[in-house]
Amino acid sequence: MNSTALLFMGPAALLVILFFFVPVVITLGLSLTDAATATGLSNWKWIGLDNYDQIARGSFTMLIIRNTIFYVLVTLAFNVVVGLGIALLSTHVEAKAGGFFRALWLLPRISPSAVYAIMWVWAAAAPPFGIMNDVLSPVGVAPRDWLNTDPWVIVILVNGFVGASLGMLVFTSAINSIPEDLFRAARVDGASAWQIVRRITLPLIRWPVLFVLVYQTMSLMASYEYILLTTNGGPGLYTTEVWSLWAFHTALSNYYGNLEFGLGAAMAAGLVVIGLVVSFTMLRLFRFDELVSDPRVEIT
């Protein structure tokens, strides 16, 4: 590698090392200690793999893994399917109407997270409160304390409405970049709307779909803020507790102030490893190397 290349890569490489690589190393190091509020930053000691051992033996571990898989898969499906649906619909109507429709779907994303989550908490409040009860009871849905009776519905919708907007934006721009000639030709050949979507649109937006899938999977695995602000991992026995929220609760939020930084770091380190495995698996599954390989036909 020549010095010019190093010079150009330097700033970016420095940022990656400082803000991505170093935190991972610190997290891994911290995970091998008993650092906690009770030790402060001066009295901690190395304890080897004890924290990992505790997690492996924990009664909650399998439950929280199952919750995390369920949360990521269902929310991801919602994000991609709804995002794709909005993109397809809004690109097939008059441009201004489509733009307005997409702008509406951006509202959850541009609202401050805490405000957005609190609005959901109020909307889902127990009877006689809650807009959801007011709206749904006339159509036969019994009023209920949604956050306690159907916590996953709320968790997935709260995250899904935010996540769908990202897919919507990416898919819309991808659809709009497909040459119009292909659609016209298909229509001339008598293709139905579904056939056009199935045979032209979807294959040509495979790369954006891959990007959204991988990005959203990673994002969902690490995200917990909306769960924290709505169900806080409950109700009951860790019903909606996911791995990243568990790490947060352990390391940074204990009712009695006994924060366990080392144990929480071990949980976070586990998440980093799982994230890497899932990323590589998805990139292989979607043949990422083929997507970024040089074109076989060179146009001059």
Partner 1 sequence: MVKLVAWTIGPDAPSFYRKDNLVSAVATLNQELEKENPKTTIELDATFESGGAWGDYLQKFQLAAEAKQGPDIVLAGHENFAPWVGPGYVIALDDLLKKHEAKFKDVIPTLWDAMKLRGKTYAVPQDTEARPMYYRKDLLAKMGWSKDRIDGLPEAVKKGDFAMSDLLATAKEAVDKGVVEAGKGWYPRPTKGHDHYMFYYQNGGEMQDKASGKLVVVPAALEKHYGVYATAVQTKVTSPTHIGSDFKIWHETVTAGKVLFYNAGTWTWKEWSTTYKVPENDLWDKVGFTLIPAAQKGAKPTTLSHPLAYMVTSNGKTPELALRLIAHATTPELNSRHSVESAHLAILKTQQDDPTYKKDKFLLATGYMSDFTTFIPNHPKYGAYDEVLFRFLSGVATGQLTPKAATDQAVAELKNQLRDELITK
Instruction: Give the residues lining the site for partner 1 (CB under 8 A).
Output: 36-43, 54, 57-60, 125-126, 129, 144-145, 147-149, 231, 234-239, 249, 252-260
Residue 81 corresponds to which tokens in the numbers above? Answer: 């399917």
Give the position of tokens 């799982």.
274
**Min dist. Cβ of residue 125 to partner 1 (A):** 7
**Min dist. Cβ of residue 62 to partner 1 (A):** 12
Enumerate residues 6+ apart whose C-beta is below 8 A from 276.
none
Alpha carbons 32 and 294: distance in angstroms, whole number: 44
Q: Whose Cβ is closer to partner 1: residue 171's or residue 248's?
A: 248
**Min dist. Cβ of residue 257 to partner 1 (A):** 4
**Min dist. Cβ of residue 60 to partner 1 (A):** 7
3-state secondary structure of 56: helix
Q: Whose Cβ is closer to partner 1: residue 129's or residue 288's?
A: 129
Alpha carbons 295 and 265: distance in angstroms, whole number: 43
Q: Whose Cβ is closer to partner 1: residue 34's or residue 85's?
A: 34
**Min dist. Cβ of residue 50 to partner 1 (A):** 9
Q: Whose Cβ is closer to partner 1: residue 98's or residue 270's?
A: 270
- What single-letter amino acid sits at 65? I
Establish whether the linkage from the previous residue to 23 is cis, with ω within 30° of 0: no
Q: Whose Cβ is closer to partner 1: residue 42's or residue 300's?
A: 42
Residue 220 corresponds to which tokens in the numbers above? Answer: 């969902």
